[in-house]
Structure 1
Amino acid sequence: MIIQSVLGITLITSLITDIRQRKILNIVTFPAMLFGFLYHTAAQGWNGVLFSVSGFLVGLGVLLIPHLLGGMGAGDVKLMAAVGAMMGSAFVFHAFLYTAIIGGVISAALIMKKNGMWNTIKSAIFIVIFLRMDVVVSPDGKGHITFPYGIAIVLGTGCTFVWGGLA
């Protein structure tokens, strides 16, 4: 129960800072990771270390490539790694799946809002027919729509608590 409470505080704090400042703070994610490592080590010894470290690595791994490609900030990656350190690899993988679905829905909604529903549908049909993925809508004219991805991470993690895994 304590691990879920610490995770809840971490998620809520990260959600607030991501919405207000567009940052997920190290002062939140690093202590959460450390807490996950220490908690599971104290509770289960070496099995707890393996549980927490594997969760951390899965959480880090699922968002590292999108971060390296410029698709999201490092704070998002560290938040997912903290979720993994506290909840383990299976949980964080399922949270990632929910997060990806929610992030996709939010992105589609933002594209439709910016580009209009009909233009978005035409672009989607074009992509499907010609398998072209270079159609990007931009509010700043430079090809990017951004939103605080911490919203998707928090909602995806919440869905995992409520409904469990997708598999």
Structure 2
Amino acid sequence: MEPGAGRYSLCGVTDRIGLRRRTSATPKRKSPHSDWRSQSRQPPERRGGDDPPRRRGADSEATVIPFPIIATLLSFISLCVVIDVRSRRIPNALSGCAMLCGAALNTFYFGGEGLVASLSGLTAAVVVLFGPFALGGVGAGDVKMMGAVGALLGPRLALIGLLVGMVLGGLIMTVALARRGRLEEKLAATISMIAGTAVTRSLSPLKRSAAEQSAVALPYSVPLGIGTMAVLAMGCWR
């Protein structure tokens, strides 16, 4: 072994170890993409023009119904129910005033779009109830009452309340017939009535059934009013 070989070899190893130490001690440069995860977690800044415009109108999901409209609606429904239960009629003056108040309040709060929504709600409720009214299932007062509800709430909420009220009215009628022991009789009469309508292709059997003296009379303002109030209670105006 030559005299300088070990020293050279030892120095070489020392230099390599020192180089490795210096290399490991040198701080690494941070990559510009090293924080991509933390950057991706941060929510993007919202620009001033990125917010979608809020819809307006009595029937808008993004608009809460003002309190005067709700107060007018609840007062109107309460009066209709009380008067209908006592006298089996709803005054035209009461329904007419509610329609005018609905159109005026929606126009005041929502402008032209509110007026359009009010008139659309009135028309939708009257059109849906025209068939049952023509068959004698509901009275003219019930049609005008729901027309006023549509003028106050707009078409969407009025139709939802109308649907809930009609289902509730059917349940009330079923319970009333069951308590009187006439449920089976009424079901058989209903099947016969539908069959007669299909055979004759006429609506006269339906009209005769509604005009019978034995038919169970129900003030339909009660279930219709409860259905409308239930829609408001469930927060469907938001």
Q: Shared fold by TM > 0.5?
A: yes
What is the alpha-carbon distance in structure 1 between the residues aligned to residue 187 and residue 102 of structure 2? 46
Instruction: Tell me the residue number matched to 2:102.
Output: 36
CA deviation map 1:99-145 (0-9, x unaligned) = 0110100111121122356x469849x94xxx7588xxx9x973511
1:84 equivalent to 2:155? Answer: no
Instruction: Tell me the residue number matched to 1:150.
Output: 221
- Aligned partner of residue 73 in structure 2, secondary structure: helix
CA deviation map 1:45-87 (0-9, x unaligned) = 2211111001111111121110111111100000000000000
1:102 equivalent to 2:168? Answer: yes
Instruction: Tell me the residue number matched to 2:121.
Output: 55
Please list every run of 5 or more consecutive structure 2 residues that lacks an aligned counterpart in the other structure. 1-66, 197-204
Letter in 1 for 2:70: Q
Q: 1:121 to 1:53 in 2, by over 3 A?
A: closer
* Greater relative contact order (CA < 8 Å, ≥ 6 in sequence): 1
Q: 1:5 to 1:122 in 2, by over 3 A?
A: closer
Q: Calculate the TM-score normalised by the size of structure 1.
A: 0.83
Deviation at 1:27, TM superposition (A): 1.9
In the TM superposition, structure 1's runs of 4+ consecutive aligned residues that sit over 6 Å from their partners are none
Letter in 1 for 2:121: G
Q: How does 1:100-139 map to 2 (within 5 A)?
A: 100-116=166-182, 119=184, 123=188, 127=191, 132=195
Please list every run of 5 or more consecutive structure 1 residues that lacks an aligned counterpart in the other structure. none
Which one has the bigger helix percentage? 1
Q: 1:77 to 1:105 in 2, by over 3 A?
A: same
CA RMSD of aligned residues (A): 2.7
Q: Give the number of equivalent residue pairs.
A: 158
Instruction: Tell me the residue number matched to 2:55.
Output: none
Instruction: Tell me the residue number matched to 1:163.
Output: 234
Deviation at 1:93, TM superposition (A): 0.7
Instruction: Tell me the residue number matched to 1:46.
Output: 112
Percent sequence identity over aligned pairs: 30
Q: 1:122 to 1:32 in 2, by over 3 A?
A: closer
Instruction: Tell me the residue number matched to 2:20.
Output: none
